[in-house]
Structure 1
Amino acid sequence: MASQQMFRSGQARGEGQAKADQMMDSAQGAADAARAKASQAAQSAQQSKEHAAGTLQQTGEHMMNMAQGAMDSVKNTLGMGDKKS
Structure 2
Amino acid sequence: MADNKQSFQAGQTAGRAEEKSNVLMDKVKDAATSAGASAQTAGQKISETAGGAVNVVKEKTGINK
- Give the Cα–Cα distance (whole angstroms) in 1 for the partners of residues 61 and 15 of structure 2: 68
Aligned partner of 1:69 in structure 2 is none
- Pairwise mapping of residues 36-55 of structure 1 onto structure 2 (< 5 A)? 36-55=37-56
Provide Cα deviations, 1:1-35, integer angstroms capped at 9, x if missing partner: 11110000000000000000000000000000000
Name the larger-Rg structure.
Answer: 1
| Aligned residue pair count | 62
Moved over 3 A (4+): none
- Give the Cα–Cα distance (whole angstroms) in 2 for the partners of residues 4 and 48 of structure 1: 66
Aligned partner of 1:59 in structure 2 is 60
The percentage of aligned residue pairs carrying the same residue is: 26
RMSD: 1.1
- Give the Cα–Cα distance (whole angstroms) in 2 for the partners of residues 20 and 55 of structure 1: 52
Provide Cα deviations, 1:36-72, integer angstroms capped at 9, x if missing partner: 000000000000000000010000018xxxxxxxxxx
How does the TM-score come out when normalised to structure 2? 0.92
The structure with higher relative contact order (CA 8 Å, sep 6+) is 2
